[in-house]
């Protein structure tokens, strides 16, 4: 869509309302690649505070939108995590020390608000630590990507979760846990029959979490388009393509219905849930990387086949995205944090020091890593992109960092790690990573019931849930 004109269609009380807004075009200078950018602290002073497998799928299938898909060294030309199809011209390279705008930043829908006052129940930051109500905050929690699935309303992603199961799930967690889930437009926020935005399933999740004193990390899309549009995000998408509407639904299931552009959807969902007591922090995208998908693998076979022809261009594209989208979320909701959702394993655009360059964006408050390293390695990874490197980079930026996904395969299958063995390995990872600087870990992935004997799945009654509820923080 052309810059300067944006439309939003919504259904309210049975009537269709179309809002058209004319915006001025605003350009945002890009920070030079590799430049040192000062970080800012939200909801606290700037000094340091010192004192995947979808249920029912085989383990080899991993899981939609997440998993151990990243390269581990900066020299890999095909970091397998996600893909893209187009790379901008080399003119987007910015020489060191030079700032210039090469893509106009989408305009905002509201004026910049005054600095927020402290609010009860809001997660904030104090240097490289999280806070809750002004006190140091560390957490445990889980991913439960499918909990907004409601087959009577949306197309869904993963298993349908009943009201009773949702109640039991949130009640089983320790107070003030975090739960990360898919709040995707394409399968969770669009009515599969009408093709229009329908907030009912997401409303249910937010209301139930609030009733049990839990907090949510809604993820707004993912790198590969799994369960959301079906398009792999490439450098052109990160450089402004997210303003385009990509509505390409399945004719049989309704999956991938996206009546709004990503940009308009961000504005709509943030405005709807920014005042919810269950909101913990926003995640604009899961496992972002600006790689290239060869045409023969488009649109659905990019993972593992993508290439990274220009790491610098990719890093600049990711930085532009987080600058623009993070700024818009902060404008619409100045109280809640924005967490990056990065995998952190050396994906295209975040290899080595580029992870720090992208994470230095003022649109990012909280850094992220995903740990699918061997179960018996509490601090996995190498000297370029391992966890120790990511923790050091977070400290240098004076920003918190969290384990957004931590997955260990276990179960009753032959040769599979037992559930009790997973408890021991998770406890070791918790101890090592919290001590190294992580503010918390979210295990992958809670499901309402086990369907495979050996998977990442964590169902009610799994002993690892008892560990999360009782481990000392």
CB atoms inside a 10 Å sphere around CB 122 = 21
Instruction: Say what the pTM is.
Output: 0.79
Q: Is the pLDDT of residue 47 over 50?
A: no
Q: Which of 223-237, 368-382, 414-428 has the lowest mean pLDDT?
A: 223-237
Distance CA 232, CA 1 (A): 18
Split at pLDDT 50, 70, 90, the class of 106 is low
Q: What is the pLDDT of residue 256?
A: 67
Q: Is the pLDDT of residue 250 over 70?
A: no
**Residue 60: both structure tokens together:** 């080899």
Name, in order, each residue with C-beta under 8 angstroms of 383's C-beta and a sequence gap of 6 or more.
389
Q: What is the pLDDT of residue 17?
A: 44
Split at pLDDT 50, 70, 90, the class of 36 is very low
Classify domain 5-109+119-470 at the CATH topology level. Answer: TIM Barrel (3.20.20)
Please report, rounded to a whole number, the percentage of residues in the chain having pLDDT higher than 70.
73
Split at pLDDT 50, 70, 90, the class of 161 is very high
Q: Is the pLDDT of residue 57 over 60?
A: no
Q: Is the pLDDT of residue 22 over 50?
A: no
Q: Is the pLDDT of residue 53 over 70?
A: no
Average pLDDT over residues 178-194: 95
Q: What is the pLDDT of residue 295?
A: 87
Instruction: For residue 59, give the DSSP letter.
Output: G
**Residue 344: both structure tokens together:** 């952190």
Strands 15-22 and 440-444: unpaired
> Where are the chain's structural domains?
5-109+119-470
Beta bridge partners of 130: 125
Q: Is the pLDDT of residue 155 over 90?
A: yes
Q: What is the pLDDT of residue 35?
A: 53
Split at pLDDT 50, 70, 90, the class of 254 is low
Average pLDDT over residues 46-75: 33
The DSSP code sequence of 384-452 is TTSHHHHHHHHHHHT--EEEEEEE--EESSTTPPPHHHHHHHHHHHHHHHHHHT--EEEEE-B-SS--S
Task: Indicate the average pLDDT of the chain.
Answer: 80
Q: What is the pLDDT of residue 347?
A: 98
Q: Which of 62-71, 75-84, 397-406 has the highest mean pLDDT?
A: 397-406
Strands 135-136 and 129-132: antiparallel
Contact 443, 464 (CB under 8 A): yes
Q: Which of 88-97, 303-312, 350-359 has the lowest mean pLDDT?
A: 88-97
Q: Is 322 helix (H, G, I), strand (E, B) or coil?
A: helix
pLDDT in tens, 259-294: 999 999 999 999 999 999 999 999 999 999 999 989
Residues in the chain: 473
Contact 64, 74 (CB under 8 A): no
* Placement of tokens 């899309």 in the chain: 221
Split at pLDDT 50, 70, 90, the class of 467 is very high
Distance CA 166, CA 148 (A): 10
Split at pLDDT 50, 70, 90, the class of 325 is very high
Q: What is the pLDDT of residue 301?
A: 87
Selection from 59, 19, 78 nearest residue 351 by Cα? 78
Q: Which of 108-112, 145-149, 424-428 has the lowest mean pLDDT?
A: 108-112
Q: Which of 105-119, 282-296, 302-316 has the lowest mean pLDDT?
A: 105-119
Q: What is the pLDDT of residue 33?
A: 66
Q: Is the pLDDT of residue 44 over 60?
A: no
Q: What is the pLDDT of residue 23?
A: 36
* Placement of tokens 């967490």 in the chain: 339
């Amino acid at each position: 869509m052309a810059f300067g004109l944006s439309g939003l269609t919504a259904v309210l009380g049975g009537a269709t309302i179309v809002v058209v807004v004319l915006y001025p075009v605003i350009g945002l200078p890009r920070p030079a690649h590799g430049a040192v950018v000062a970080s800012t602290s939200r909801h606290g002073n700037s000094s340091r505070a010192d004192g995947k497998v979808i249920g029912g799928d085989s383990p080899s299938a991993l899981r939609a939108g997440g998993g151990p898909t990243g390269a581990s060294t900066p020299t890999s030309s095909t970091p397998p995590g996600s893909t893209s199809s187009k790379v901008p011209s080399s003119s987007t390279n910015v020489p060191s020390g030079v700032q210039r705008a090469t893509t106009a930043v989408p305009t905002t829908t509201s004026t910049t608000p005054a600095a927020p006052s402290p609010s009860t129940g809001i997660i904030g930051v104090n240097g490289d630590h999280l806070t809750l109500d002004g006190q140091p905050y560390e957490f445990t929690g889980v991913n439960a990507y499918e909990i907004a699935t409601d087959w009577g309303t949306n197309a869904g992603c993963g298993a349908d979760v009943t009201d009773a199961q949702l109640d039991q799930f949130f009640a089983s967690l320790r107070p003030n846990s975090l739960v990360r889930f898919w709040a995707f437009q394409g399968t969770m926020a669009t009515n599969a029959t009408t093709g229009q935005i329908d907030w009912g399933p997401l409303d249910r999740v937010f209301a139930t979490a609030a009733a049990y004193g839990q907090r949510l990390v809604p993820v707004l899309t993912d790198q590969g388009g799994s369960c959301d549009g079906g398009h792999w995000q490439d450098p052109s998408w990160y450089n402004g393509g997210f303003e385009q509407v990509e509505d390409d639904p399945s004719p049989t299931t309704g999956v991938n219905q996206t009546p709004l552009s990503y940009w308009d959807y961000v504005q709509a969902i943030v405005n709807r849930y920014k005042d919810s007591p269950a909101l913990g922090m926003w995640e604009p995208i899961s496992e972002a990387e600006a790689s290239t998908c060869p045409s023969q693998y488009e649109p659905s076979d990019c993972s593992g086949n993508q290439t990274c022809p220009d790491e610098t261009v990719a890093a600049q594209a990711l930085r532009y995205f987080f600058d623009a989208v993070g700024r818009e979320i902060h404008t619409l909701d100045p109280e809640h944090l924005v967490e990056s959702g990065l995998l952190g394993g050396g994906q295209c655009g975040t290899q080595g020091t580029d992870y720090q360059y992208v994470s230095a964006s003022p649109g990012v408050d909280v850094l992220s890593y995903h740990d699918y390293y061997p179960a018996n390695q509490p601090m996995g990874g190498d000297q370029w992109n391992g966890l120790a490197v990511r923790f050091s980079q977070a400290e240098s930026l004076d920003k918190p960092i969290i384990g957004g996904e931590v997955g260990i395969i276990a179960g009753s299958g032959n040769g599979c790690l037992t559930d009790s063995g997973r408890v021991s390995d998770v406890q070791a990872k918790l101890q090592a990573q919290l001590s190294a600087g992580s503010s918390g870990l979210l295990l992958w992935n809670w499901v309402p019931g086990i369907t495979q004997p050996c998977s990442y799945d964590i169902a009610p009654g799994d002993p690892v849930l008892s560990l999360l509820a009782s481990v000392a923080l």
